[in-house]
Amino acid sequence: MINRLTIEDMLQRLSIKPVNPAWSTGKETGDDTSTPFDSFSPVDGQLIASVGSASADAYDRVIEQATAAFGQWRMIPAPRRGDIVRQFGEALRSHKQDLGMLVSYEMGKSLQEGLGEVQEMIDICDFATGLSRQLYGLTMQSERPQHRMYEQWHPLGIVGIISAFNFPVAVWSWNAAIAWICGNVCVWKPSEKTPVTAVACQQLMARVLAENGIPEGVSCLVQGGRSLGEELAGDHRIALVSATGSTRMGKSVAAATAARLGRSILELGGNNALIISQHADLDVALPAAVFGAVGTAGQRCTTTRRLIIHEAVYDTFRQRLVNAYGQLRIGNPLDEQNHVGPLIDVDAVRQYEAAIASCLREGGHFAVAGTVLEGAEYVSGCYVRPCIAEVEPYFEIVKQETFAPILYLMKYRTLEEAIRIQNEVPQGLSSAIMTQNLREAEQFLSVAGSDCGIANVNIGTSGAEIGGAFGGEKDTGGGRESGSDAWKAYMRRQTNTINYSDKLPLAQGIKFDV
Instruction: In whole angstroms, give the CA distance from residue 445 to residue 436.
Output: 14
How much of the chain is helix, strand and coil, in % rounded to 5?
A: 40, 20, 40
The candidate with the shortest Cα–Cα distance to 380, out of 392, 369, 388, 372, is 372
The candidate with the shortest Cα–Cα distance to 336, out of 503, 138, 112, is 112
Instruction: In whole angstroms, give the CA distance from residue 353 to residue 372.
Output: 8
User: What Å distances lie between residue 152 and 139, 177, 303, 494, 499, CA to CA?
Assistant: 9, 20, 38, 5, 17
Which residue among 182, 201, 220, 301 is the active-site one? Answer: 301
Q: What is the DSSP string of 336-383?
A: TT-SB---SSHHHHHHHHHHHHHHHHTT-EEEE---B--SGGGTTS--
Instruction: In whole angstroms, give the CA distance from residue 465 to residue 463.
Output: 7
Active site residue 359: no
Instruction: In whole angstroms, give the CA distance from residue 129 to residue 404.
Output: 36
Instruction: In whole angstroms, give the CA distance from residue 215 to residue 195.
Output: 23
Instruction: In whole angstroms, give the CA distance from residue 447 to residue 465.
Output: 23
**Long-range contacts, 250-259 (Cβ 8 Å, 24+):** 250/477, 253/162, 253/229, 254/477, 256/230, 257/233, 259/234
Cβ atoms of 333 and 341 within 8 Å: the answer is: yes
Which residue among 120, 216, 267, 401 is the active-site one? Answer: 267
Instruction: In whole angstroms, give the CA distance from residue 78 to residue 182.
Output: 7
Backbone phi, psi, residue 295, to 5°: -60, 140
Active site residue 267: yes
Instruction: In whole angstroms, give the CA distance from residue 38 to residue 51.
Output: 6
Cβ atoms of 321 and 388 within 8 Å: the answer is: yes
Q: Which residues are catalytic?
A: 267, 301
